[in-house]
Amino acid sequence: MRFFKKKRDLSGDELAISGFLDDESELLNEALLDREWGAARRILAAADKEHFMYYVAVAAATPGVEEWIDGPIRAQPDDPLPLLIGGARAISWAGEARGDGWANTVPKDAWPVWFQRLELAENLLDQALDRHPALADAWRYKIALSRYRQLPAVERWRRFKRLIEIDPSHLFGHEEMLDCLLPKWGGSWDAAFRFARERTAACPATNVPLLIMKVHRNFRWEGENGENRYYQRPDVASETYDAAEQSFWHDDYETTTLTPILWNYFAFALTYGRYFKQACTLYDAIGSDFVRKQPWHTVEHYRTMRDWARKEAADPHYHDE
């Protein structure tokens, strides 16, 4: 198994948001920005499934790919990779037209562009699956499309079930399905929590227990939950800790390139949940190399939370909650 590389040698307490989780993902981004499909394809083709999942997400977020990916698609009509990258990128491109605000803030002239680009994404992903029906990441993005295109629940579930037939612990696909079940997308909190708990139980020693963290992160804004104070509730803090034990603290867990994503989210929740010593082990793992934009948003927030956890953990009167 390939492991991610530490990328920066920062002195003292100098911190920065990490844009990429390994060197290959940064090289992939550079190749795509330079329109060098051959170099990009070599990185994608050499990746194991965990790296591939992440690299496709990097490609989807790379601006400008939509302007030239039709060239490799035409030049390599039997290759599913340019179709997959084109489809994944078309979803992000649609989001750029729509913006990230509530529906009532979207300009009227943006809606036709949004749906046109989503249709393009669906068509490209279908073509990729025609060539490679077991391409898990195509199903991941088709789950996202089922939500954005407001397809019936039965179709959302069909796509998810096909994904887990291929890759039962595909993290990003699980996250897409969790989003499908949130109330804002026509689901319910009961359905979202049930899904997170059932899939966590079904996938020990994987990254999937991150769903527990994600569903609580969404639910903290509901009603009188009190935003970040919500994590201090004993039942929430306990379930968050248990999810970490089911994931990267499980004896059978193998660290992957995606693991720093979990470290960041769980460090955030465990600190608010007052599991300070446990959170400190994650801050130590994150170090200066793997500070992610989510869930912190800023380096200052990360540093404040880390320093709070370390101060509390060092208190001789501290004990686990």
Q: For 132-179, how does the pLDDT look when each residue is reduced to its tens digit (9 = 90+)?
A: 999 999 999 999 999 999 999 999 999 999 999 999 999 999 999 999
Write the pLDDT tens digit of every residue in 261-309: 999 999 999 999 999 999 999 999 999 999 999 999 999 999 999 999 9
d(CA 92, CA 30): 18
For 40-75, how does the pLDDT look when each residue is reduced to its tens digit (9 = 90+)? 999 999 999 999 999 999 999 999 999 999 999 999
> Residue 119: is its pLDDT beyond 70?
yes
Other Cβ atoms closer than 10 A to 226: 12
Q: Give the Cα separation of 58 and 181 in Å (integer).
A: 25
How close are the terminal C-alpha atoms of the chain, in Å?
36
- Cβ count near 238 (within 10 Å): 13
- Residue 165: per-residue pLDDT: 98
260 inside domain = no
Do the domain assignments include residue 199?
yes
Residue 9 has pLDDT above 50, yes or no: no
Closest CA to 79 of 23, 130, 9, 118: 130
Residue 120: what pLDDT? 97
What is the C-alpha to C-alpha distance for residues 89 and 70, in angstroms, rounded to an integer? 12
Is the per-residue pLDDT at 11 higher than 50?
A: no
Q: Helix, strand or coil for residue 10?
A: coil
Looking at per-residue pLDDT, the higher value among 104 and 179 belongs to 179
Estimate the crossing angle of helix 49-60 against helix 37-46, to 10 degrees. Answer: 150
Average pLDDT over residues 101-111: 75
Mean pLDDT, residues 74-85:
97
Residue 289 has a CB neighbour count (10 Å cut-off) of 18
The confidence score (pLDDT) of residue 319 equals: 60
Q: What does the block give as tokens for 246?
A: 């089911």
Handedness of CA 41, 46, 48, 54 (dihedral sign): negative
pLDDT at position 2, please? Answer: 43
Domain count for the chain? 1
Q: Is residue 234 part of a domain?
A: yes
Say if 298 falls within a structural domain.
no
> What is residue 125's predicted lDDT score, i.e. its pLDDT?
98
**Beta strand segments in 219-310, E:** none
User: pTM (2 decimals)?
Assistant: 0.92
What's the pLDDT at 111? 78
Residues 6+ apart with CB under 8 A from 260: 4, 18, 21, 285, 286, 290, 292
- In this model, does residue 102 exceed pLDDT 90? no
Residue 157: which domain range? 23-241
By CB atoms closer than 10 A (0-12, 13-18, 19+), residue 214 is buried
Percentage of the chain surpassing pLDDT 90?
Answer: 83
- Residue carrying the six token digits 């393009």: 120
Give CA–CA dist 16/282, Å, rounded: 17
Asked whether residue 305 is domain-assigned, the answer is no
Beta-carbon neighbour count of residue 317 at 10 Å?
A: 5
Asked whether residue 77 is domain-assigned, the answer is yes
Residue 108 confidence (pLDDT) above 90: no
Residue 317 domain-assigned?
no
CATH of the domain at 211: 1.25.40.10
In a domain, 185, yes or no: yes
In the predicted model, what is the mean pLDDT of the chain? Answer: 93
Q: What pLDDT does residue 223 have? A: 77
Q: What is the pLDDT of residue 180?
A: 98
CA distance 118 to 112: 10
- Residues 172-219 have pLDDT tens digits of 999 999 999 999 999 999 999 999 999 999 999 999 999 999 999 999
